[in-house]
């Protein structure tokens, strides 16, 4: 039986055949699945960034990078919230994050 991730891979192939770049394909799915709860089977990735200088504290270093979630709801509930409450930097937390669909990770769940 084909899985949802097979469906997305097939759809991505078609979109690329029609001349869309990787970035445009990502944007397409981002828009198509942009509802309050997202869609079942569409994973989300949260990426936490920091200023990457000497002032970034250990706590903030520990949450930097990619965090993958099974659904939009899970991502919203469980992602590291920034500014990070455990931040110990003198000037305060300067982290930021992005949250986007990650269709190609669908087979990891």
Q: Using CB under 5 A, list all residues that contact Zn ion.
A: 60, 84, 87, 93, 95
Residue closer to Zn ion by CB (options 29, 84) is 84
Give residue for tokens 């769940």.
109
Q: Which residue, 21 or 62, has its beta carbon nearer to Zn ion?
A: 62
Q: Nearer Cβ to Zn ion, position 11 or 57?
A: 57
H or E element: which one contains 42? none
In terms of Cβ atoms closer than 10 Å to its own Cβ (0-12, 13-18, 19+), residue 29 is: buried
Minimum Å distance from CB 89 to Zn ion? 6
Residue 64 contacts residue 78 (beta carbons within 8 Å): no
Give the shortest CB-85-to-Zn ion separation in angstroms. 10
Task: From 92, 99, 61, 93, select the one nearest 78 (Cα to Cα).
Answer: 99
Q: How far is the CB of 77 from Zn ion (least distance, A)?
A: 20
């Amino acid at each position: 039986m084909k899985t949802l991730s097979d469906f997305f891979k097939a759809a991505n192939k078609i979109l690329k055949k029609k001349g869309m770049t990787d970035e445009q394909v990502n944007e397409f799915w981002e828009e198509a699945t942009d509802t309050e709860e997202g869609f079942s089977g569409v994973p989300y990735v949260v990426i936490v960034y920091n200023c990457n200088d000497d002032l970034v504290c250990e706590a903030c270093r520990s949450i930097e990078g990619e965090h993958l979630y099974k659904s939009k709801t899970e991502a919203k509930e469980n992602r590291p919230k920034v500014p990070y409450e455990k931040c110990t930097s003198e000037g305060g937390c300067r982290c930021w994050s992005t949250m986007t669909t990650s269709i190609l990770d669908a087979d990891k769940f």
